[in-house]
């Protein structure tokens, strides 16, 4: 019997692959390659003979086409690292068989309870087998679930040659959680036309939209004078920065918005009397929304500055990433085929948007259009992370169906 997706998942989560934003090396942590080497061995054992780990820590592999006609080359991607937010050392996965409902107390830490009120998705899991941690580490379902699902689907396709499909590429990346997941990807070597990250949450969901993102730096030059002689002359840059921050719109903030609403969010302020800098991030789903928010910020600055006639400011906008929807909309078959595959795997497809960026959004703008399909995990980056066996199995089925749909429709 080949390994099930759950066998694989339980094998991968106990290997510590936490990435490190402070590291300058590639990959950011050498230990990510421990999992990489195991995955390559397993890919070779499945029969994907070109599987290899490259110098940067990425894994490339190919499931060869088994039909004569041309079929677009699609790729499935997942990341091997886990988030720096919470420790991933000594993960002790627990399986709750036939979940009966109710809150889940994790035995390793009495403070850690997966509550139904925080996880309404648990209500759809009655009778399923749920995997959690013991409460002292994260689980790493983000995104070892994606790895296990792609591996299991690869094995299934190789073992069942009667299932017709085109060439399928596999790409496993490092350092996704520290924003460098695709820095060293070689898209020419990969040779795929379209890709899917298996890195979303709830079963049935597929996301083709991300935020568009800019950073804004406002630097204020104040008027510095010895405080003993300052009357009528000093213009303290710290106080000017405070006046600007105070006027930021309260209803356009991360803490007051959801769904398709964007926001303005100060992420840092540094300063002294003579000079202060406010760093902000601006998020929206379209460029007009971004422009409007940036204009709003600058209008606030311009409104504050006349109170400080000796002071000046600079206003700098830096592009961070863009909504991948503009790229994906040029190739509607990417989403149509995925929606059909999810339906054939027995779910009602739900199209959504991500209030953040993904590796897929960066890949899309690098020339590899790449929406994000569910992997089944919940409560990412925390000791309360959980996933069900059944949802991972649905993801495996979705990958297999997607391979079939692309072949049928070519």
CB of 48 to Zn ion, least distance (A): 23
Binding residues among 279-298 for Zn ion as defined by CB under 5 A: none
CA atoms within a 13 Å half-sphere pointing along the CA-CB vector of 163? 21
Pick 77 or 341: Cβ nearer Zn ion: 77
Interacting residues of 303 by C-beta distance below 8 A, sequence separation 6+: 247
Bridge partners, 218 (sequence order)? 278, 315
CA atoms within a 13 Å half-sphere pointing along the CA-CB vector of 272? 5
Q: Which two tokens stand for residue 12?
A: 């991968």
Pick 199 or 214: Cβ nearer Zn ion: 199
Which is nearest to 156 in space by CA: 409, 405, 395?
395
Pick 121 or 225: Cβ nearer Zn ion: 121
Dihedral pair phi/psi, residue 53, rounded to 5°: -100, 125
3-state secondary structure of 401: helix
The single residue among 81, 149, 175, 199 that binds Zn ion, judged by CB under 5 A, is 199
DSSP 331: -
Query: How far, in Å, CA of 46 to CA of 40, rounded?
Result: 10
Stretch that binds Zn ion, among 23-31, 104-112, 194-202, 253-261 (CB under 5 A): 194-202
CB of 199 to Zn ion, least distance (A): 4
Q: Which of 16, 42, 81, 149 is catalytic?
A: 81
Q: Which two tokens stand for residue 51?
A: 């599987």
Query: How far, in Å, CA of 363 to CA of 371, rounded?
Result: 10
Q: Which of 16, 176, 177, 208 is catalytic?
A: 176
Place of tokens 């490259």: 54
Binding mask 27-66 for Zn ion (x = CB under 5 A): ----------------------------------------
Residues composing the chain: 410
CB of 377 to Zn ion, least distance (A): 8
Query: How far, in Å, CA of 61 to CA of 191, rounded?
Result: 11
Size of the site for Zn ion (CB under 5 A): 3
Contact assessment for residue 284 and residue 211, using Cβ atoms and an 8 Å cutoff: yes
Stretch that binds Zn ion, among 10-18, 134-142, 151-159, 319-327 (CB under 5 A): 134-142
What is the strand order of the sheet 74-79 is part of? 52-53, 59-63, 168-173, 74-79, 194-200, 372-374, 205-210, 350-354
3-state secondary structure of 219: strand
Q: Which stretch of DSSP H or E encloses residue 314?
A: strand 312-321
CB of 233 to Zn ion, least distance (A): 53
Stretch that binds Zn ion, among 148-156, 193-201, 244-252, 339-347 (CB under 5 A): 193-201
Query: How far, in Å, CA of 179 to CA of 408, rounded?
Result: 36
Pick 121 or 158: Cβ nearer Zn ion: 121
Alpha helix locations (H) across 93-171? 141-159
Which is nearest to 169 in space by CA: 153, 190, 144?
190
CB of 148 to Zn ion, least distance (A): 13
Stretch that binds Zn ion, among 43-51, 191-199, 217-225, 231-239 (CB under 5 A): 191-199
CB of 78 to Zn ion, least distance (A): 8
CB of 335 to Zn ion, least distance (A): 20
**Active-site residue flag, 143:** no
**Active-site residue flag, 208:** no
CB of 141 to Zn ion, least distance (A): 9
Binding mask 137-156 for Zn ion (x = CB under 5 A): -----xx-------------
Pick 87 or 277: Cβ nearer Zn ion: 87
* Cα end-to-end distance, the chain, whole Å: 33
Query: Rule CB under 5 A: which residues touch Zn ion?
Result: 142-143, 199
Residues annotated as catalytic (active site), given as ranges: 81, 176
């Amino acid at each position: 019997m080949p390994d099930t997706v759950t066998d694989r998942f339980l094998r991968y989560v106990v290997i510590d692959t936490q990435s490190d934003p402070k590291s300058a090396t590639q990959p950011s942590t050498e230990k990510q390659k421990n999992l990489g080497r195991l995955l390559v061995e397993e890919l070779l054992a499945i029969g994907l003979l070109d599987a290899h780990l490259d110098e940067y820590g990425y894994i490339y592999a190919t499931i060869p086409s088994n039909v004569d006609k041309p079929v677009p080359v699609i790729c499935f991607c997942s990341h091997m690292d886990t988030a720096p937010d919470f420790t991933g050392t000594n993960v002790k996965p627990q399986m709750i068989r036939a979940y009966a409902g109710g809150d889940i107390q994790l035995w390793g830490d009495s403070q850690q309870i997966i509550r139904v009120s925080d996880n309404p998705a648990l209500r759809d899991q009655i009778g399923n087998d749920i995997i959690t941690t013991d409460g002292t580490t994260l689980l790493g379902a983000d995104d070892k679930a994606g790895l296990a699902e792609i591996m299991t689907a690869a094995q299934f396709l190789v073992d069942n040659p009667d299932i017709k499909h085109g060439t399928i590429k596999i790409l496993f990346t490092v350092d996704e959680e520290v924003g460098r997941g695709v820095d060293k990807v070689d898209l020419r070597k990969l040779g795929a036309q379209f890709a899917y990250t298996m890195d979303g949450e709830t079963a049935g969901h597929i996301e083709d939209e991300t935020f568009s993102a800019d950073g804004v730096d406002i630097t204020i030059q104040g008027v510095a004078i010895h405080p003993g002689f300052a009357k009528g002359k000093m213009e303290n840059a710290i106080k000017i920065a405070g006046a600007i921050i105070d006027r930021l719109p309260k209803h356009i903030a991360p803490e007051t918005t959801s769904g398709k609403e964007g926001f303005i969010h100060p992420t840092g302020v540094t300063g002294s009397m003579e000079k202060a800098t406010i760093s902000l991030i601006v998020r929206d789903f379209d460029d007009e929304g971004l422009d409007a928010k940036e204009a709003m910020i600058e209008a606030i600055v311009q409104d504050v500055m006349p109170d400080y006639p000796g002071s000046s400011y600079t206003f700098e906008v830096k592009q961070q990433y863009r909504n991948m929807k503009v790229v994906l909309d040029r190739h509607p078959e990417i989403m149509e085929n995925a929606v059909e595959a999810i339906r054939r795997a027995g779910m009602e497809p739900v199209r959504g948007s991500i209030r953040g960026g993904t590796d897929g959004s960066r890949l899309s703008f690098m020339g590899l259009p790449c929406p994000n399909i569910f992997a089944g995990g919940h409560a990412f980056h925390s000791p309360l992370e959980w996933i069900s066996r059944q949802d991972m199995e649905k993801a495996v089925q979705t990958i297999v169906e997607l391979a079939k749909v692309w072949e049928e429709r070519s």
